[in-house]
Amino acid sequence: MCGIVGFIGNRQAKDVLIEGLARLEYRGYDSAGIAVLNKGEIEIYRSKGKLSVLKELISDKKIDSKIGIGHTRWATHGKPSDENAHPHKSKRIALVHNGIIENYLQLKNELIDKGYEFSSETDTEVIAHLIDSLYKDNLFEAVKNAIKKLKGSYAIAVISENEPDKIVVARYDSPLVIGVGENEMFTASDIPAVLSYTRKFIFLEEGDVATLTKNSVYIENNGKEVKREIKVIDWNPVMAEKAGYKHFMLKEIYEQPRAIIDTIRGKYSLEEGEIYFGEVDYETIKDIEKITIVACGTSWHAGLVGKFYIENFAKIPVEVDIASEFRYRNPIATNKTLLIPISQSGETADTIAALRMSKKMGAKVVSICNVVGSTIARESDGVIYTHAGPEIGVASTKAFTTQLASLFLFALFLGQKKGVLEKSEIKSILNDLIQLPEKIEEVLKHDKQIEDIAKEFVRYKNFLYLGRHYNYPIALEGALKLKEISYIHAEGYPAGEMKHGPIALIDKEMPVFVLGTKSRVYDKILANVEEVKARDGIVISTVTKGDKDIISKSDYSFILPVTLEELTPFLNSIIIQLFAYHASNLLGLDVDQPRNLAKSVTVE
């Protein structure tokens, strides 16, 4: 979740850039930098660490500039460092970039053959040199020609010493806005960066390329000039951080399609039917015979789904342990064991302890984490970053589904390497995976329906969540979400366990939330629904489009798009998250900061 800020006008650019970057700090970052045109030359100041380090770096510099670009970086290609921080410079131009360039190695080799030298590990430096190689005293044309060669996602802002009166920006599959002021223009990856200067914004669309001067905006798409509407934003700064949503949790629920795209991007080739994990050296884990997943809370639920994925796609036995129990039960690990710790923050105390204990026993460690440079990331042999961006709401949403996405791809990766999956199988599975964000968007359209149904149920004191196979962990997660933010008692169970105790509780005062999407155990779930109804239970269900049987026996149903059975946990997760959110909101509770809970449990 990198941040971009750009300015051209009559103010001191460095002040606007630093303030803008500060307003984007909530997005998370590991380094920051600015590039300004000072006395006709581009000067770049950048550093690893917090924005305060950058401020100290420029505090004694004599900078008089009315144009510049700034960036906060969340590492993707290359570790957090001064060299990898943005902006990147190539002779006459400087550039900042959000996104991932999938064909950067091919382009890099071509540029090296042309004599360009690289000083960073980033894919972004490739874009800077590429634009310079195409530059013929027209920055706009050079950017247009350069992006034709890029595969992947980008939001870029570019300045040139030869054209000190303009900023050129472009976007594809990564957000970028233009702020329109009085004799000044701004660009940013998110509205809060420049909201204190203007409330007029142009939202760039896919494929847009634009030139900004201090009093004009020119936009092209596919070689033709286009006009984009200027929209007036009536947000205060706090609302801006929430993008207009009432709570961070709701915003983060709606960010899940984008978060999943960012998490899986660059890790697969649909054409080749292959999965890539540059962060993981397969040679170090190729001899593993067993996998142990350790995590806490919601991450543990993700691990339970991951067990199904890995055993199905890679045929490797998997144990899933609660980290706080793992560390006290004399676990067995060897150099044939792969430990997968899962942690949103990378600082969960019990999970760190489990990691260290396993490493002492010789296990290899590949972690799944959302925070670059965190303790778990640093101490692992390999790390898979989820790229969910900062999650402010205590109840995890997008961190959870990006963990699922990482586990899904890693299972395919292992299945590919072990020779369990053919390329044709991987291509077929990937076809469904890349459609997943769009299908999540469809599920989000149930929001109002979910709110209306939640109104009917907030008076109930108890809930039961049931799921089977891939979705039994989602039943556990649904119950946890309802408990932690609405304070309604809820229990999640594998549906087959209902007759082993919970069925005694079912009556007209016990709503039962059934995850009933199509699966190999659909008939079993249907039987469970019938058993609930026979005892006067109230059934709320999720079903796959075209279902008739569970719908006919449910009091309320949410109809979800058709997808692979393995991907139904993603769609079901959206429903249970929104249901918990609306229950809490309707009860007037603090959705983002529920009582007694912390975002990261960093002590035992």
Asked whether the predicted pLDDT for residue 132 surpasses 60, the reply is yes
Q: What is the pLDDT of residue 409?
A: 97
To which H or E segment does residue 454 belong? helix 447-457
Please give the positions annotated as active site: 2, 599
- Flag whether pLDDT at 1 surpasses 60: no
Q: Are strands 185-188 and 177-180 parallel, antiparallel or unpaired?
A: antiparallel
Q: How confident is the model at residue 162 (pLDDT cuts 50, 70, 90)?
A: very high
The answer to whether 393 and 528 have CB atoms below 8 angstroms apart is: no
Per-residue confidence (pLDDT) for residue 515, from 0 to 100: 95
- In this predicted structure, the answer to whether residue 8 has a pLDDT above a threshold of 60 is yes
Q: Which fold has domain 441-586?
A: Rossmann fold (3.40.50)
Amino acid at 293: I
Cα–Cα distance, 546 to 321 (Å, whole number): 37
Nearest to 70 by CA among 23, 138, 121, 135: 23
Cβ atoms of 532 and 505 closer than 8 Å: no
Q: What is the pLDDT of residue 531?
A: 83
At residue 239, the pLDDT reads 63
- Residue 504: pLDDT above 70? no
Return the pLDDT at 602: 40
What pLDDT score does 60 carry? 86
Mean pLDDT (whole number) for 259-278 = 89
Identical fold between 250-434 and 441-586:
yes
Is the predicted pLDDT of residue 604 greater than 50, yes or no? no
Q: Are strands 224-225 and 230-232 parallel, antiparallel or unpaired?
A: unpaired
Distance between start and end Cα atoms, the chain: 30
Question: Contact, 517 vs 568, CB < 8 A?
Answer: yes
129/189 Cα distance (integer angstroms): 22
* pLDDT, tens only, 343-356: 988 888 889 889 99
> What token pair was written down for 81?
């460092």
User: What DSSP designation does 152 have?
Assistant: B
Q: What is the pLDDT of residues 279-327, one digit of tens each?
A: 888 998 999 999 999 999 999 999 999 999 999 999 999 999 999 899 8
**In the predicted structure, residue 225 carries a pLDDT above the cut 70:** yes
Cβ neighbours for 297, distance < 8 A, ≥ 6 positions apart: 396, 480, 601
Residue 402's identity, in one-letter code, is: T
Instruction: Say what the pLDDT of residue 494 is.
Output: 87
Four-point Cα dihedral 493, 497, 501, 506, nearest 10 = 60
Mean pLDDT of 71-98: 88
Among 286, 414, 261, 400, residue whose Cα is nearest residue 343: 400
Spatial separation of the C-alpha atoms in residues 369 and 347, rounded to whole Å: 9
Instruction: State mean pLDDT over 563-569.
Output: 96
pLDDT band at residue 592 under the 50/70/90 scheme: confident
Q: Quick one: pLDDT band at residue 437, thresholds 50, 70, 90?
A: very high
pLDDT at residue 331 in the model: 85
Burial class (CB in 10 A: 0-12, 13-18, 19+), 379: middle
DSSP 101: B
Note the pTM of the prediction, 2 decimals.
0.75
Q: Which among 396, 389, 321 is positioned nearest to 351, based on CA atoms?
A: 321
Task: Give the mean model confidence (pLDDT) for residues 359-384.
Answer: 88
Residue pair 217/210 in contact by the 8 Å Cβ criterion: yes
Domain range list for the chain: 3-241, 250-434, 441-586
Within 13 Å, how many C-alpha atoms sit on residue 240's CB side? Answer: 23
The model's confidence at residue 240, banded by pLDDT at 50, 70 and 90, is low
Mean of the pLDDT values across residues 14-18?
Answer: 95
The reported pLDDT for the residue numbered 244 is 80
Tell me the CATH class for 250-434.
alpha beta
pLDDT band at 537; cut points 50, 70, 90: confident
Residue 347: the pLDDT is: 80
603 pLDDT more than 50: no
Give the residue with greater pLDDT, 454 vs 77. 454
Question: Which CATH number applies to 3-241?
Answer: 3.60.20.10
Average pLDDT value for residue range 396-414:
96
Say how far apart CA 280 and CA 115 lie, in whole Å.
31
pLDDT above 60 for 18: yes
Mean pLDDT (the chain, rounded): 90
